[in-house]
A and B are shown apart, each in its own frame.
Chain A
Amino acid sequence: MRYLFFLFYLPILLLLAGCWDSLEIENRAFVSGVAIDPGENNEDKNLKMMTQIVIPNGLVSLPNNGNGGGKSYRNLSDTGKTIFEVKSAIEEKEDGNLDNSHIELVIISDELVKSEYKLSDILDVFMRESRMNRDIILAIADGSAEDLLNIDPENVKLPSQYMTELIISNYNLANRDPRRAGDMQYYFIENRSFYLPYLVSIDASNGVELEGAAVFKGENGKMVGTLTEEEVSGLLLTHRDYTETLIVDHNGQKASFTVPDGRTEIKLINRDPENLHFQFDVFLTGELVEAFQGMDFIKEENMEELKKKLRLEAEKVMMKTIRKLRDEYRVDILELHEFLFRKHPEIWKQVENDWDSGKNYFSNVDITLNVDVTIREPGNTN
């Protein structure tokens, strides 16, 4: 009886080995970066997508293997009407199964999002697909996005990884975190304006530079322009907390300051929706890190002079950015809308629908700056 029991149950063990969804790790082709461009001679509104697929063997450098394996990635591209269609087309060129769960970076060509496509339409698949990562870093490329996936950084094996690190470390320097795909949901749903890192390819060996930011208008999800690096500094100074570097011109001599922990508070002075008036209270605590000769920095009155210069410089930089955003682009990426929504919901309700679109209340906003500067230390040397 007992043997019969075994004979019956033993074959059932075989079922344990069966698995519908088994997919060996060798057969997975991990995608680490994606570049999206407009298709060539584009009357059908095609998208061209390039995926960077990791070749795990190339990543490992064995000690006796001299130059450390071969190439560690391959780039495959194709065109199609939607991202998913292109993905299927790429799948036909790849022996493994594309695995999207570890995508780190998505670069989109500015030509695509300036006129033809809403950014939210392009990115939708990156949020809807169940295996997608909320942490994907987004960047806008000046011109061709594909070119950036072909750069050759010396220290990192994967171009996409290089650019991800580039963006993250630069943002971290300013005490910020770059926008991730998961964060974008808010901007897309509420039609709010936002900015993304703007990558420019250069002719140096590492081939890429983070050059300011691309500004998007929330209303139609299209790119309205870019901010230069200096303008991004001005933008950062309006944020709640930041780390920044400012260069002051003092009687023809330059002095550089870092602001390791700056702080800005927003106040609403005039509550009339037609003519809102904001005040930015900026608390800068500077540290002198570099100065050209010609000044006695240990003397207090010299420091006072320098403080005033630093204040004027900060105001100048901030005002330039504010003017550009308010008068030229007319989009609110100063996050005043968030401030209103959180702190003055009753006013926000009145201006909500025409904030930086339609009637554009934002373009009629008055902004005054109130900069408070402290210079904590002049540095080690006089």
Chain B
Amino acid sequence: MRTVRYADDKISNFTILVIVPSIVIAVGILTYPRTLAEQTEGADGWVTLLIGGAVCALTAFLITKIASLFPGQSFYTYTSAMLTKPVAFLSSILFFLLAVTIVSYETAFIANISHHYLFEKTPTEAINLAFLLVVLYAVVGERVAIFRMGFGIMILTAVATVILVVTALPAADWNRMLPVLTTDVKSYLGELPDSILSYSGVFILFFYMKLTRTPEKSVKSAVIGAAGVTVFYITVYLMCIAVLGNVSTANTVYPLVELANTVRTVGFLDRIESLYFIIWITTVFMTTALAFDISVLIITDIFPKANKTFVAFSLLPVMYLISLLPTDHFQIAKLGTIIGYTAKGLTIAVLAGLWLMYGIKGRKRKGERS
């Protein structure tokens, strides 16, 4: 396969801004209004969404900040320097396994939902393979190309969402937002983990930060990206509540699909949710491509001599096999939860270690100087 070479492998701040929503907005977008509405009353879920968004922005800030202190260095390099080599190796491998599982999970989810709504007879194995092959095609090329594609997909998603919101407005009943803030604190706390999990994936910034031209400024971009996701999530959530109502949202498996379903007759098209599927599938495709790329990047960071194309091709069968493991809707959902918790836990552990060591070493250095 011939690949186009770009001038350099560096990426801009704006790319960092786009990467955050690209990885965070994934299959969760189809289901999160349900998990929110299940435990909160009226439209109160926005509170936990906001907190989740703040946590995401904070994580993005801490990750990019620590990475910007070691400009141009890979995660493996600076973690080795801070936390010894075995720790760096172990955490890299854990992140690698996580990224591989994310690819498989997204694939399995896409296969499941397309099976539910689009293809009745096509075996999921075939959908999985076709999807993974397309992702592989994106990954074996130049890394910058994935980001370029990310811009396009981000714009497409944003435009499509605005259109969805506008066309669904006539069906909205704002009284459904009432009563305001009647959910008790316990329910909020019970719901909070789900909200925070909706925002997982920012850990990939650990690895992409070495590619930026201006690491200092990328910190701001990452935080803006996280804020953008929060706005997006809250808008979609409020729209689901206004159109479907709290009770229907809580009892519909894919509320966003049903939201698109309620948009009545646009021109000669009677039902337009299949058009929205295109948008959502490309968004998920982007997430999968980034996760795949990260798993390749981690390997090439640890073993600089490894051939990227070779690594990508050899990972494919593994990802394919894992994607076939969950056999039904519930197992896929469970896998999603496991991935969410692992991603958060791992990110927090690594972040804590890095900042702790930075604090100690930084103070030492200051002590030496004075």
In the assembled complex, the Cα of A182 lies from the Cα of B259 at a distance in Å of: 10
What A residues does B245 contact at CB under 8 A?
186
The residue on A at minimum CB distance from B176 is A342
Contact of A343 among B178, B252, B264 (CB under 8 A): B178
**Is A84 an interface residue when CB atoms closer than 8 A count as contact?**
no
Residue from A20, A134, A341, A343 in contact with B126 in the complex, judged by beta carbons closer than 8 Å? A20
Residue of B at shortest CB range from A101?
B271
CA distance A345 to B118 in the complex (A): 41
Question: Bound state CA distance, A64 and B107, in angstroms?
Answer: 54
Kindly report which residue of chain A lies nearest to residue B262, judged by CB atoms.
A134
Whether A135 touches B247, Cβ cut-off 8 Å, given contacts A21-B121, A182-B258, A345-B179, is no
**CB contact between B247 and one of A102, A189, A342, A345 (< 8 Å): that residue:** A189
**Restricting to A14-46, which residues have a CB under 8 Å from any CB of B?**
19-21
Instruction: Say yes or no for B120: interface residue by CB 8 A criterion.
Output: yes
Given the known interface contacts A20-B122, A134-B258, the answer about A186 and B247 at a Cβ–Cβ threshold of 8 Å is yes
Q: How many angstroms from the CA of A261 to the CA of B221 in the assembled complex?
A: 50
A190 on the interface (CB 8 Å rule)?
Answer: yes
Q: A184 to nearest B CB, angstroms? A: 9
Bound CA–CA A189/B37 (angstroms): 14
Q: Which chain A residues (61-103) contact chain B, with CB distance < 8 Å?
A: 101-102
A182 surroundings in chain B (CB, below 8 A): 244, 248, 258, 261-262
Cβ of A21 and Cβ of B122 under 8 Å apart? yes
A133 to B117, CA, bound (A): 12
| Cβ contact of A20, chosen from B42, B123, B244, cutoff 8 A | B123
- Whether B261 contacts A134 by the Cβ 8 Å rule is yes
Report the minimal beta-carbon distance from A142 to chain B, rounded to whole angstroms: 29
By beta carbon, the residue of chain B nearest A19 is B122
Contact B247 A185 (CB under 8 A): yes
- Chain B positions within 8 Å of A293 at CB level: none
Partner of B261, one of A19, A102, A133, A190: A133
Q: What chain A residues lie within 8 Å of B8 (beta carbons)?
A: none
A133 touches B252 (CB 8 A): no
Contact B262 A20 (CB under 8 A): no
A187 (CB) vs chain B CBs: closest residue: B247
Check B270 for interface membership: any CB of A closer than 8 A: yes
A380 within 8 A of B: no
Q: What total count of A-B pairs have CB within 8 Å?
A: 52
Do A342 and B270 have beta carbons less than 8 Å apart?
no
Interface centre among A102, A338, A342 (most CB of B within 10 A): A342
Q: Does A251 contact B (CB under 8 A)?
A: no
Indicate if the CB atoms of A133 and B271 lie closer than 8 Å. yes
Say if the beta carbon of A130 comes within 8 Å of chain B.
Answer: yes
Bound CA span A338–B178, Å:
10
Contact among B41, B117, B175 for A130, CB-based, below 8 A: B117
B12 at the interface (CB under 8 A from A): no
B57-69 near A? 1/0 per residue, CB < 8 Å: 0000000000000
Partner of A341, one of B121, B179, B271: B179
Contacts of B118 in A (CB 8 A): 21
Alpha-carbon distance between A101 and B122 when the two chains are bound, in angstroms? 19
Task: Name the CB-closest residue of B to A22.
Answer: B121
Q: Which residue of A lies closest to B181 (CB)?
A: A345
- B331 interfacial contact with A, CB 8 Å: no
Q: Does B307 contact A (CB under 8 A)?
A: no
A338: which B residues are within 8 A, CB to CB?
175
Instruction: Mark B242-264 against chain A: 1 for CB-CB distance below 8 A, else 0.
Output: 00110110011000001001101
Cross-chain contact A342 with B175 (CB below 8 angstroms): yes
Q: Which residue of A lies closest to B177 (CB)?
A: A342
State in angstroms the CA–CA spacing of A134 and B258 once bound together. 8
Q: Binary interface profile of B, 98-120, with partner A (CB < 8 Å = 1, else 0)?
A: 00000000000000000011111
Take A130-B117, A186-B245 as given contacts and tell me if A135 and B262 are in contact as well, using a CB distance cutoff of 8 Å: yes
CB-defined contacts of A185 to chain B, threshold 8 Å: 247-248, 251-252
Inter-chain contact A102/B179, CB cutoff 8 Å: no
| B277 CB, min distance to chain A CBs, angstroms | 12
Contact B248 A186 (CB under 8 A): yes
Chain A contacts for B117, CB-based, 8 A = 130-131
Interface residues of A in 328-382 (CB under 8 A from B): 338, 341-343, 345
Q: Judge if B182 is at the interface, Cβ distance under 8 Å.
A: yes
B251 touches which of A133, A135, A189, A341 (Cβ 8 Å): A189
Q: A102-B270, A133-B271, A134-B262 are in contact. Are A20 and B119 (CB under 8 A)?
A: yes
- Distance, CA A179 to CA B123, complexed state (A): 37
Enumerate A201-246 residues with CB–CB distance to B below 8 Å. none
* Interface pair A20/B121, CB less than 8 Å apart: yes
> Given the complex, which residues of B lie within 8 Å of A19, measured CB to CB?
122
Contacts of B41 in A (CB 8 A): 345
CA distance in complex: A345, B180 (Å): 10
B 38-71 binary contact with A (CB < 8 Å = 1; else 0): 0001100000000000000000000000000000
Are B179 and A342 neighbours in the complex by a CB distance under 8 Å?
yes
B31 CB, nearest partner CB in chain A, Å: 15
Do residues A345 and B182 form an inter-chain contact, with CB atoms below 8 A?
A: yes
B-chain residues with CB within 8 Å of residue A101 when the two chains form the complex: 271
Chain A residue at minimum C-beta to C-beta distance from B171: A177
Interfacial residues of chain A within 185-201, with CB under 8 A of chain B in the complex: 185-186, 189-190
User: Could you say which residues of chain B place their CB within 8 Å of the CB of A135?
Assistant: 262, 264
Q: Which residues of A contact B258 (CB under 8 A)?
A: 134, 182
Q: Provide the residues of chain A in CB contact with B122, threshold 8 Å.
A: 19-21
- Give the distance to chain A from B161, nearest Cβ to Cβ, in Å: 20
Q: Which of the residues B119, B178, B251 comes within 8 Å of A21, measured between beta carbons?
A: B119
B172 to chain A, nearest CB (A): 12
When C-beta atoms are compared, the residue in chain A nearest to B246 turns out to be: A186
CB-defined contacts of B120 to chain A, threshold 8 Å: 21
Q: Which of B119, B179, B261 has the most CB of A within 10 A?
A: B179
CB distance from B153 to the nearest CB of A (A): 24
Nearest A residue (CB) for B118: A21
Write out the residue numbers on chain A whose beta carbons fall within 8 Å of the beta carbon of B261.
133-134, 182
17 pairs, CB–CB < 8 Å, chain A vs chain B: A20-B119, A20-B121, A21-B120, A21-B121, A21-B122, A135-B262, A135-B264, A182-B244, A185-B252, A189-B248, A190-B247, A341-B179, A342-B178, A342-B179, A343-B178, A343-B179, A345-B179
Q: What would 7 more interface pairs be, CB under 8 Å, given A134-B258, A186-B248, A345-B182?
A: A20-B119, A20-B121, A20-B126, A21-B118, A182-B261, A185-B247, A338-B175
For the complex of A and B, the 7 pairs showing the least CB-CB separation, nearest first, are A342-B178, A20-B122, A345-B179, A21-B119, A185-B248, A20-B121, A186-B247
